Structure 1
């Protein structure tokens, strides 16, 4: 029985060390294999800690108690599960929640609202400011419908072409002026 416990302890510790040092490389090799099992609790850090804890607690219980083999295995499994739950809720879950990217893609800009910071000429370029998760971002802009757009006007990004945001006024101010 000691061979099982020592094997789990050493194997789990080796796996934890290898995944720490080579995690990105190994992860790219087996990318997507475990997507079928999308349960967060089966992450490698949880599995490695459970196997290592099972082995370590089995070694300690067999060494320092007079329990039988069945009881040692049951207690070792319970200790490993308890420690895995603790690691999951105190380390893995908070780290998953903190992985928010502040980056954005130009493909995400169409449909976003912005404000003109530098006036846009009908056949020229200006600048808009779009509010993103990371804060405000500035983009070169051109009028989608070939109209002059003054600074401070609210616009919507219609499309992106070659890094230039094609925008249109959110509200048509010309209709309001005609009504006055």
Structure 2
């Protein structure tokens, strides 16, 4: 059993070292082949949690094997319980808090549909102007045309009705209700 514990421990440590040093390169080379592990399944089946549990199993089993006089079945059960507790701790103390920690300031033009904005360059009946739309914590200036083909003066509040060919089609909105 000592060989099993040592293999689990060394395998987990090697996985950690390889993923830290070469993780991005391997991910690009495999073109996200293993992304299903973190996206499709339950969130506790993250590679970090699973490999962490295997590594803890190996370390706990190795320590119990060498420094206790218990039978191999008791040691295996204790190592398994310690591994489960360790994996749960890794999940709740590291993986779960990190799931939503990555913020992005990126947006797509299509995601602006339904957004409120302000006309900063007047929009003629047949033509384009420019609108300022709030995106996250910042603003973006975008080319805009009138959805109803009516002139919209500068300073008017508008709503983005749809986006076609990189142009926001907007309609004037009255917020004084």
Aligned 8 A contact 1:116 1:127 in 2? yes
SS in 1 for 2:7: helix
CA distance in structure 2 between the aligned counterparts of 1:68 and 1:147, rounded to whole angstroms: 85
Deviation by residue 1:1-36 (Cα, 9 ceiling, x = unmatched): 111111211222233333442352447123437765
Q: Is the 8 A contact 1:55 1:76 kept in 2?
A: yes
Using a 3 Å threshold, how does the CA distance of structure 1 residues 129 and 148 change in structure 2: closer, same or farther? same
5+ long unaligned stretches in structure 1 = 173-180
1:118-129 superposed matches below 5 A: 118-129=121-132
Whether the 8 Å CA contact 1:103–1:134 is kept in 2: the answer is no
Cα RMSD between the aligned structures?
2.2
Distance 1:86 1:155 in 2: 49
Deviates more, 1:23-32 or 1:127-136: 23-32
| 1:115-147 deviation digits (Å, cap 9, x = unpaired) | 112221222322111122242221111112222
Q: How does 1:22-171 map to 2 (within 5 A)?
A: 22=23, 24-25=27-28, 26=30, 28-32=32-36, 38-171=41-174
The whole-number CA distance in structure 1 between the counterparts of 2:108 and 2:12 is 40
Moved more, 59-68 or 10-19: 10-19
Provide the residue aligned with 1:177 in structure 2: none
Q: Is the 8 A contact 2:37 2:45 kept in 1?
A: no
What is the number of equivalent residue pairs in this alignment? 171
Whether the aligned pair in 1 keeps the contact of 2:119 and 2:153 (CA below 8 Å) is yes
Give the 3-state SS of the residue equivalent to 1:61 in structure 2.
helix
- Stretches (4+) displaced over 6 A: none
Contact 1:116 1:152 in 2 (8 A): yes
C-alpha spacing 1:76/1:27, structure 2 compared with 1 (3 Å): farther
Residue in 2 aligned with 1:14?
Answer: 14
Structure 2 residue ranges without an equivalent (≥5): none
1:26-74 Cα offsets, whole Å, 9 max, x none, are 47123437765x2111111111111111001111111112122122112
